[in-house]
Structure 1
């Protein structure tokens, strides 16, 4: 399965904070960002359904 890469712009402070959380939890930065994006997409879809 080929994954599509996406560049996400964030400040150094935000990246460092996420990186520290990832290191403490034993997960990679990519895993945390992927989970956050999935949650955001679900919330956006739910919000769009409620507007219709």
Structure 2
């Protein structure tokens, strides 16, 4: 991960199935959860309470 302003590219939810179908199953995680996948069977899901303090 990087702190660069352009590290992440926004993607509208309507395009998820076309660009990142493997992400769709994570979008219904409860508020406060993060996930990271890499396409090589790496998966990490964790709760980050700081996300709820925004």
TM-score, normalised via structure 2 length = 0.23
Compare CA radii of gyration and give the structure with the larger one.
1
Structure (1 or 2) with the greater strand fraction: 2
Structure (1 or 2) with the greater helix fraction: 1
Per chain length, whose mean CA-contact separation is higher, i.e. which structure has more relative contact order (CA < 8 Å, sep 6+)? 2
